Structure 1
Amino acid sequence: MTAPVYENTDVFAYGLDAADPLRPLRDEFLFPPAPSGAPAIYLAGNSLGLQPRKARKYVQMEMEDWERLGVEGHVHGRHPWLPYHEQLTDMVARVVGAQPIEVVVMNTLSVNLHLMMVSFYRPTRERFKILIEGGAFPSDQYAVASQARFHGYDPKEAIVRLMPREGEDTLRSEDILEAIERHGKELALVMLGSVNYLTGQAFDLREITRVAHAQGCKVGFDLAHAAGNLKLSLHDDGPDFAVWCSYKYLNGGPGSLGGVFVHERHAHSPQLPRFEGWWGHNKATRFEMGPTFDPLPGAEGWQLSNPPIFQLAALRSSLELFDKATMAALRTKSDQLTGYLEFLLDRLPAGYVSITTPRDLKQRGAQLSLRFKGEPKRLLQRLSAAGIICDFREPDIIRAAPTPLYNTYLDVFRFVKALEAHALE
């Protein structure tokens, strides 16, 4: 494939935006104001996505039904609350490349990760280890360590941590696969983030799953930085489970509900150990209030409690936009946005910035992690004062994520021009 030909001019950026078929979707979001009063250049969708314009309307609709109907809203609301989460199922399935029976919106990410490990981390004397990234998000590290302790194992012995080679920022694919094969007979679970939160590196989920399953391991993925970012194919890739949050690229709002994928081959396995709750019980007999749990088939069978409707309503407003855009089109634009950003960054003064995220498009999503010469926290403050919102992660990384649903090529151009002004001071 021929590499795109980019130009370092605002006229070129305007031209790309004018030709962008997804450009109208930008108007479906609300932007925080810059100090000038203009909309900010928002490059932090990898941390918290923007508010869809319809989120307020959808939440207000449920507030009105609560006021108007009280408890009857569960059945007689405009969008009845009892089956409300089912409105999101097909849309979520399309976002993550799954069958509807394989997904459900529920809980938050770390809660769901623990629920999945109850079922899929079943250690034995011979096979008790969990393989994770050494640089995994802290909550994932805490979760796997606490699960190992819960089963009576010392995390120092039970956790296998993947580390980059000396002098490198990211993991090599061949090193991940080699570690799985080397430790395979001891591994009960391979549990990786599909996109590393710090480096922005994306992993080959299909190949990791294939190699891990060949070793007899269960496989799970944390999709916090992948859902709504990468074009996923969970059903075809075949991991046993995956979990994600919806407040980043999925724009569900702060602390919004997460999601779960359980592969279809486990859909009709009521014998799988799990923590049980009444919302995972057979819908036909749920309100008979019987004493024996009868799990729903598929991912719904892992539900515990009825979900918060206002959060579902806000998330629905965003998922409708994903359906309108399609993940294939979003990924195409995302690759072009990060490619343009990379092109512009490479033209800044030598030594000013380095990109720690892989340059291979197959190994990244919307986020580029940047290491700057000087004091990155002070630079972040200057960017904020100029109406450009990124974020900082210790020890020295500024993350910038041009998000295809609402960012433009001109956003990217103006961001780098602000960096250039700082570099030339």
Structure 2
Amino acid sequence: MISFLFITSIQAAETPKDEFKEKVFNFSKLQATAITEIRAKNRLDLVKELPTIFQNESIEEKAQIAILKLFSELEDLDGLAPNWVVVLDLVFQKTTNVNLKKEILLLAEKKKEKRLIYSVIAAFSDPETQVRTLSYRLMNLLKDDRALPILLDMSLSKDPVHRMYFLESSLIIKDERIQNQIHKLANDESPGVRKKYLIAINRLGMTDKFSQFQKSATNDPDDDVKMVALEILKNKKGRQYLSLFYKGLNDSNSDIRRISLEALLLYQDKQGAKVVSDQLVKEDNSFLRARMIDLLLDLGNNGGGQGILSVLTNAEEAELRTKAAYAVGKLGANTNAVELTKILSEEKENAVKWQLIHSLGELKDKNAVPALLVLARNPREKLNLRIEAVNTIRTINDPDSLPSIFEAYVSENEQTLRTELENTLREILNLKFPPKIP
């Protein structure tokens, strides 16, 4: 008996320890690395234990991902681990780990594994968009009719979120039965569902339903739905929708006004300058005011003066007033020197003043010269503004102003300004009395 125990203990001592197996089986930091080495070390005999390890609560996510990666590389996975599908399906139904769900679905996609269809079905209503998207891709790949009734039931669900998920799936799953069900949600009670419906029929290119966009943009009681419809129509660039965008420009919702304005910037409808100008007078959103000025500049000299003047006189932001001052010079839009010089005399910001002075030069209105001379002779004004005023007088080139310019020249002590006044006198005189060519 003693000799038997002695021999047994010797045999046990001689049995080599399987350190690699221990690394694979032990729930430690080394486990994930060991699992990735199973193929390289030709230890496929360990694969049959991996499903059990995979569902153990002590396993780290890295190790689970390593198992799934290994499974994706094995061609005879059923032979090596017959219960792998059952275990993955069970874990998918229980876990809240988004990465794990995604990896299981990616494995099912790679192997085109219909036995994981119940995991796919469970993912239809997952709160994570990436998980749902993978499930729709799989459904489209597998063409498994066991899942279709679940999707169709989602379109009839009392939960609007599920109805939205159904519409979401229609963008990926190409099945006539799903397409036919979409249109039942056109007038859904949920604004969110109606938005998704518009997005779906647009993405799917259902041209026979395009009238729904105009209907929603005009009549939907929810502003968010209107915005989606207007955004879609804007991108279609059809001039038949112009009236919708002009109407939207006057909407109480600033986002609807923004989308409508973006559309009008695309259309470049020169006949609409007055409508834009009228809205500019009423607009209180600084960003939209700036974009309306951009639109008026794009449309050219086709109206817009009153709107631009309202910005010049009422806008709080100096940057916006400067933009309006620039537009006045470029458009010459129904403005006169009297109005502009009055605004100039009341303006406090030098940047706005400079732009107004410059724009008066572009307008070349002789009535502006007296006010410009007053500014040029005012020592309290910045020198650069006074010089710009003289340059503008030179640009306007009014011979009748020569006596006033000469008076300013004689009384001016600032040398740079005096030189500019002298040059202005000389240029205007040369233009009025060109030198005779011998």
Structure-1-length-normalised TM-score: 0.20
- Whichever structure has more helix as a proportion of its residues is 2
Which structure is higher in RCO with an 8 Å CA cutoff and minimum separation 6? 1
Determine which structure has the larger strand proportion and give its number: 1
